[in-house]
Amino acid sequence: MDKAVGRNEPSERRGPGDVATDIPSRPPTYRASYVLEGTLTRGHDIWKSVRGRISFWTVVLTVTGVAAIYLYLFSESMFVSEAVISLQNKSGVSSGISSVLSSGLASAGTSNEDAALVAYIQSPDMLVQLDKKFHLRDIYSDYRHNPFWRLDKNASNEGFLTFYQNMVEIALQPDVNLITLDVLDYNAERAREIADTIINEAERFMNQMSDTIREQTLRAAKQELQEAETQAATAPASERDIAERRLSAAQVAMATALSLANSQQVFVVRISNPTLPTQTTRPERLLDLAAVATLTAVFYAIFFMIMSNVRDHRRL
């Protein structure tokens, strides 16, 4: 009987001052959510405090001030050599370059040829030629230049090409068939020499492309003419009339191909030779500061509207 009662009683009796040790503890997920909630609350309080001290003019003036420090203390002034070129064909130039200058509408190069020339100017092949002559990689990575805008010494070929493309600006005007080339450099004379070399290489490229197109256009016509001449010379009397008609048609096709090939000969015409700049014009600091201030104001307004909408939804 005593044993039965003993089995129903706890093994240890608690006194009045004892603390219960068998109360279940809070699960880890509860503690994590409590900590997260507290962190979010503190973050919200900090944001409210900061937001109360931030105004439109504080943001705009701070960002513009940082931009001014960069532009006037770190950003280097660069010279810009400008040149204007046009793509013309043989018939277009035979009428004289003056017609291009007077009307600005005499164009023979197609938009595809313009795009091909622009792509070549910005290509690795062009950069290889310029680097051989001017050692552009060494110039762009010189430690004396702006630390925030210079080529890394160990830059990849892709990074080198990107930097070069930022130093050579091209504006294409397809409606008047003009291409404006602006070359930026730290030295005025070198800027003009680089621009001149680019145009020379562009002329060589267009000449090669024109020769290739001309050869492809004439190849088939020449082959047909040769076969027709051979047939006309060896055909028996009964077939001579047919062979002569084929020869006559091949001669007409050859003349047409020659005319088409001549019209497809596109080359570069210099409308304006590269200039020798006498003063630096990049960066345009005042315009850049105005653009920074304007964009900052726009982004601030957008952010303010977004936050206002979020607060309105929370209240709902």
- Between the two ends of the chain, the Cα-to-Cα distance in Å is 69
Q: What is the 3-state secondary structure (H, E, C) of the chain?
A: CHHHHHHHCCCCCCCCCCCCCCCCCCCHHHHHHHHHHHHHHHHHHHHHHHHHHCCHHHHHHHHHHHHHHHHHHHCCCEEEEEEEEEEEEHHHHHCCHHHHHHHCCCCCCCHHHHHHHHHHHCCHHHHHHHHHHHCHHHHHCCCCCCCCCCCCCCCCHHHHHHHHHHHEEEEEECCCCEEEEEEEECCHHHHHHHHHHHHHHHHHHHHHHHHHHHHHHHHHHHHHHHHHHHHHHHCCHHHHHHHHHHHHHHHHHHHHHHHHHHHCCEEEEEEECCCCCCCCCECCHHHHHHHHHHHHHHHHHHHHHHHHHHHHHHHC
Q: One digit per residue, pLDDT tens: the chain, 316 residues? A: 444 444 444 444 555 555 445 555 555 555 555 555 666 566 566 656 666 667 888 889 999 999 999 999 999 999 999 999 998 876 544 444 334 433 443 344 456 888 899 999 999 999 999 999 999 999 999 999 998 989 999 999 999 999 999 999 999 987 888 999 999 999 999 999 999 999 999 999 998 888 887 888 788 888 888 888 898 888 888 888 998 899 899 888 888 888 777 766 788 999 999 999 999 999 999 999 999 999 999 998 898 888 777 766 666 5
Predicted local distance difference test score (pLDDT) of residue 310: 73
Other Cβ atoms within 10 Å of 258 Cβ, number: 15
Contact 305, 129 (CB under 8 A): no
Question: What's the chain's Rg over C-alpha atoms?
Answer: 39
* Amino acid in position 63: V
Write b or e for each residue in 79-98: b if 16 or more Cβ atoms lie within 10 A of its Cβ, otherwise e.
Answer: bbbbbbbbbbbeebbeeeee
Cα separation of 153 and 145, whole Å?
12
Q: What is the pLDDT of residues 244-301, one digit of tens each?
A: 899 899 888 888 888 777 766 788 999 999 999 999 999 999 999 999 999 999 998 8
pLDDT computed for residue 151 by the predictor: 96
Residue 189's pLDDT is 97
Cβ pair 237, 263 in contact under 8 A: no
How is residue 232 written in tokens?
A: 């006309």
Residues in the chain: 316
**pLDDT digits 0-9 by tens, 1-17:** 444 444 444 444 555 55
Q: What percent of the chain has pLDDT over 90?
A: 44
pLDDT for 107: 44
Q: What pTM did the predictor assign?
A: 0.69
For helices 188-234 and 240-263, angle between their N-to-C axes, nearest 10 degrees: 170
pLDDT at 57: 87
